[in-house]
Structure 1
Amino acid sequence: MKNKYLFHLILVLGLFVTSCKKDFFNRPPENASTVGTYYQTTDQVQSSTNILYAAPWFGFNGKAFLAIGDLQAGNAICYAGTDGAFDAFGAFGASNATQTVMSAWNSLYTVVAQANALINNLPNAVPPSVPSAVVNNALGEARLMRAAAYFYLTRLFGNVPIITDPSPYVGSFSTVRTNPVTDVYKFITMDLQFAEANCRPGVASTGHVSSASASGLLAKVYLYQQKYDSALIEVQKVINSGEFGLVGLDVPGSYTQMFELAGNNNKESMIALQWTSNGGYGFGNQIQSVIAPNTNITGTGDGWGELGPSLDLQNAFKNAGDSIRRHGCIMIDGDYYPEIQKKIGGYYVHRIDMGMGAVNAQGSGAGMKKYVVGTPDDNGGLSAFQATSNNTYLLRYADVLLIGAEAILGKSAGVQPGQGIDTNAVSTDAVALGYLNKVRQRAGLPALTSFTYKQLLNERRLEFAIEGDYWYDLQRIDGFNNPHHPVAIAMINAQDRRTVNVDGNTGQITSYNPGRSFTLTDANFILPYPATETAANPSLLMPPVPYKF
Structure 2
Amino acid sequence: MRIYNKVFSFFILLVGSIVLNSCDDKLDLEPLYSQDADSYFSTPADYERALVGAYDLMQTSYLNLWIGEIASDNAIAGGESVNDTQGLHEIEAMNHNAVNNELRSVFQFNYAGITRTNYLFINKDNIDFPGKEVLFGEAHFLRAYYYFQLVKYFGDVPLIVDKFLGADEVTTIGRTPSAEVYAQIEADLIAASEVLDWTVEVEGKVTKGAALALLGRVYLYQDKFEEASQVLEQVINEGPYSLITTTSSEEYTDLFSVNQEGNSESVFEIQYSGQEGGSYGCLVCLEGFAAVGFQGIRQYEGPVYGDGNSYNLPTQDLYEAYALGDIRRNGTVLNLDEFISEQPNAAEISYAVGGGGHTGFYNNKYIKRQDELGLPDNDLTSPVNYRLIRLPDVYLMAAEAFNRKNGPDDAKALGYLNDVRERVGMPEVNFSGEQLTEAIWAERRLELSGEGFRFWDLVRTGRAAQEIDGFTAGKNELFPIPQIEIDLAGGNWNQNPNY
Q: TM-score, normalised by structure 2?
A: 0.82
Compute the displacement of 1:350 (Å): 6.5
Which one-letter code corresponds to 1:367 in the other structure? Y
Which one-letter code corresponds to 1:532 in the other structure? I
Mapping of 1:321-332 within 5 angstroms? Answer: 321=324, 323-332=326-335
**SS in structure 2 opposite 1:395?**
strand
**SS in structure 1 opposite 2:416?**
helix
**SS in structure 1 opposite 2:105?**
helix
Identify the residue that residue 70 of structure 1 maps to in structure 2: 69
Return the match for 2:467 from 491, 515, 520: 491
Return the match for 2:135 from 116, 135, 138: 138
Identify the residue that residue 498 of structure 1 maps to in structure 2: none
**Alpha carbons 1:39, 1:48 under 8 Å: kept:** no
CA gap 1:240/1:204 in 2 versus in 1, 3 angstroms: farther
Return the match for 1:119 from 111, 118, 121: 121
Return the match for 2:418 from 437, 442, 446: 437
Listed as ranges, the gaps of 5+ residues in structure 1 are 1-9, 337-346, 415-426, 479-486, 494-517, 545-549
Compute the displacement of 1:49 (Å): 3.2
**Alpha carbons 2:115, 2:164 under 8 Å: kept:** no
1:235 is aligned to 2:232: yes
Identify the residue that residue 109 of structure 1 maps to in structure 2: 111
Compute the displacement of 1:94 (Å): 1.6
Compute the displacement of 1:93 (Å): 1.6
C-alpha offsets along residues 262-306 of structure 1, whole Å, 9 cap, x if unaligned? Answer: 122222222221111222131211112211123447999960102
Identify the residue that residue 356 of structure 1 maps to in structure 2: 349
Which one-letter code corresponds to 1:68 in the other structure? I
Mapping of 1:423-502 within 5 angstroms? Answer: 429-450=410-431, 451-478=435-462, 487-493=463-469
Which one-letter code corresponds to 1:525 in the other structure? E
**Stretch moving more, 274-283 or 241-250:** 241-250
CA gap 1:540/1:74 in 2 versus in 1, 3 angstroms: farther
**Stretch moving more, 108-117 or 298-307:** 298-307
Identify the residue that residue 283 of structure 1 maps to in structure 2: 287
Identify the residue that residue 193 of structure 1 maps to in structure 2: 190
Return the match for 1:525 from 470, 477, 481: 477
Return the match for 2:308 from 297, 303, 319: 303
**Alpha carbons 2:313, 2:362 under 8 Å: kept:** yes
Question: For residues 238 and 397 of structure 1, what CA distance do their matches in structure 2 show?
Answer: 9
Identify the residue that residue 489 of structure 2 maps to in structure 1: 537
CA gap 1:310/1:543 in 2 versus in 1, 3 angstroms: closer
Identity across the alignment (%): 27
Compute the displacement of 1:218 (Å): 0.9
1:371 is aligned to 2:371: no
Question: For residues 187 and 107 of structure 1, what CA distance do their matches in structure 2 show?
Answer: 19
CA RMSD of aligned residues (A): 3.4
Question: Aligned pair count?
Answer: 462
CA gap 1:441/1:465 in 2 versus in 1, 3 angstroms: same
Which one-letter code corresponds to 2:215 in the other structure? L
**Alpha carbons 1:398, 1:439 under 8 Å: kept:** yes
**Alpha carbons 1:96, 1:530 under 8 Å: kept:** yes
Compute the displacement of 1:76 (Å): 0.5
C-alpha offsets along residues 197-250 of structure 1, whole Å, 9 cap, x if unaligned? Answer: 011222388221211211111111111221211111101211222311223369
**SS in structure 2 opposite 1:384?**
coil
Compute the displacement of 1:368 (Å): 2.1
Identify the residue that residue 98 of structure 2 maps to in structure 1: 96
Identify the residue that residue 497 of structure 1 maps to in structure 2: none
Question: For residues 74 and 116 of structure 2, what CA distance do their matches in structure 1 show?
Answer: 32
1:160 is aligned to 2:157: yes
C-alpha offsets along residues 183-202 of structure 1, whole Å, 9 cap, x if unaligned? Answer: 11100000000001011222
**Alpha carbons 1:69, 1:470 under 8 Å: kept:** yes
CA gap 1:34/1:307 in 2 versus in 1, 3 angstroms: farther
**SS in structure 1 opposite 2:275?**
helix
**SS in structure 1 opposite 2:394?**
helix
Which one-letter code corresponds to 1:94 in the other structure? H
Identify the residue that residue 3 of structure 2 maps to in structure 1: none
Identify the residue that residue 505 of structure 1 maps to in structure 2: none
Question: For residues 472 and 31 of structure 1, what CA distance do their matches in structure 2 show?
Answer: 41
Question: For residues 537 and 95 of structure 1, what CA distance do their matches in structure 2 show?
Answer: 18
**SS in structure 1 opposite 2:475?**
helix
**Stretch moving more, 116-125 or 13-22:** 13-22
Question: For residues 34 and 351 of structure 1, what CA distance do their matches in structure 2 show?
Answer: 65
1:410 is aligned to 2:410: no
Return the match for 2:177 from 174, 177, 180: 180
Question: For residues 316 and 300 of structure 1, what CA distance do their matches in structure 2 show?
Answer: 25
Question: For residues 349 and 113 of structure 1, what CA distance do their matches in structure 2 show?
Answer: 51
**SS in structure 1 opposite 2:41?**
helix
Compute the displacement of 1:442 (Å): 2.0
Compute the displacement of 1:167 (Å): 3.1
Identify the residue that residue 390 of structure 1 maps to in structure 2: 384
Question: For residues 349 and 539 of structure 1, what CA distance do their matches in structure 2 show?
Answer: 58
Compute the displacement of 1:429 (Å): 2.4
Identify the residue that residue 32 of structure 2 maps to in structure 1: none
**Alpha carbons 2:277, 2:376 under 8 Å: kept:** no
CA gap 1:117/1:99 in 2 versus in 1, 3 angstroms: same
Listed as ranges, the gaps of 5+ residues in structure 2 are 1-8, 30-34, 279-285
**SS in structure 1 opposite 2:245?**
coil
CA gap 1:171/1:236 in 2 versus in 1, 3 angstroms: same
Mapping of 1:193-212 within 5 angstroms? Answer: 193-203=190-200, 206-212=203-209
Question: For residues 207 and 233 of structure 1, what CA distance do their matches in structure 2 show?
Answer: 25
Compute the displacement of 1:536 (Å): 0.8
CA gap 1:351/1:116 in 2 versus in 1, 3 angstroms: farther
**Alpha carbons 1:382, 1:388 under 8 Å: kept:** no
Which one-letter code corresponds to 1:538 in the other structure? G
Compute the displacement of 1:468 (Å): 1.1
Which one-letter code corresponds to 1:491 in the other structure? E
**Stretch moving more, 15-24 or 523-532:** 15-24
Identify the residue that residue 57 of structure 1 maps to in structure 2: 58
CA gap 1:100/1:241 in 2 versus in 1, 3 angstroms: same
**Alpha carbons 2:292, 2:379 under 8 Å: kept:** no
**Alpha carbons 2:70, 2:92 under 8 Å: kept:** yes
CA gap 1:125/1:401 in 2 versus in 1, 3 angstroms: same
Question: For residues 357 and 350 of structure 1, what CA distance do their matches in structure 2 show?
Answer: 12
CA gap 1:296/1:125 in 2 versus in 1, 3 angstroms: farther
Q: TM-score, normalised by structure 1?
A: 0.75
C-alpha offsets along residues 362-397 of structure 1, whole Å, 9 cap, x if unaligned? Answer: 32122221111413x545869824111111122111
**SS in structure 1 opposite 2:267?**
strand
